[in-house]
């Protein structure tokens, strides 16, 4: 654990980020939570936070975990929460409805994420720090788990 914390500190200290215009994208997940918690331990009360609140089965867990993180170490205010459920795909104001050019691979959370980014900029943040990319670092390769098609999507009925 000591080596991990020292490595995080060394990586963060390579850039001039610890000032009042830095904000942490605190999703409530392990990656952003680990980085943000360590920064708040080192610089109590300096950093505000923001998140894109998801819908579906993970929503309650995200809310609880973020609240616990913000209670246990001192972050600054504001805590900017953009509710993705207020900006569903094809909602008024999104790029698809406005007839703008949209990449066919664009994530459906692009519009609410853009709304969060605007709120972050309006709050005066100039640097946004997020997680480690752990999901991407530990994902299996095609060789380790070859693609087998869409599989069973019976859980689609429970998704918002």
What DSSP letter does each residue of 58-91 carry, written as one string? GHHHHHHHHHHHHHHS-PPSPEEEEEGGGS-TT-
- 26/87 Cα distance (integer angstroms): 19
pLDDT of residue 87: 84
Residues ≥6 apart with Cβ < 8 Å to 11 = none
| pTM attached to this predicted model | 0.77
Q: How many residues does the chain have?
A: 160
- The predicted pLDDT at position 30 comes to 86
Structure confidence by residue, pLDDT tens digits, 110-148: 888 889 999 999 999 999 998 866 666 666 666 776 665
**Number of domains making up the chain:** 1
- Lowest-confidence segment of 7-11, 22-26, 80-84, 103-107 by average pLDDT: 103-107
pLDDT given at position 143: 72
What pLDDT does 56 receive?
87
Please give the residue range of the domain that contains residue 103: 2-158
Query: What is the domain-level CATH number for residue 57?
Result: 3.40.50.620
Q: In what order do the strands lie in the sheet with 127-129?
A: 79-83, 49-53, 22-25, 127-129
């Amino acid at each position: 654990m000591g080596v991990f914390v020292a490595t995080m500190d060394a990586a963060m200290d390579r850039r001039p980020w610890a000032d009042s215009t830095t904000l942490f994208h605190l999703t409530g997940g392990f990656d952003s939570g680990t980085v943000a918690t360590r920064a708040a331990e080192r610089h109590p009360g300096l950093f505000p936070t923001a998140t894109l609140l998801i819908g579906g089965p993970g929503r309650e867990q995200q809310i609880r975990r973020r609240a616990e993180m913000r209670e246990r170490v001192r972050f600054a205010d504001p805590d900017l929460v953009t509710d993705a459920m207020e900006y569903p795909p094809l909602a008024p104001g999104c790029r698809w409805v406005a007839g703008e050019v949209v990449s066919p691979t664009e994530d459906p959370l692009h519009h609410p994420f853009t709304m969060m980014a605007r709120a972050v900029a309006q709050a005066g943040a100039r640097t946004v720090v997020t997680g480690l990319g752990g999901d991407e670092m530990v994902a299996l390769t095609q060789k380790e788990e070859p693609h087998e098609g869409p599989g069973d999507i019976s859980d689609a009925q429970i998704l918002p």
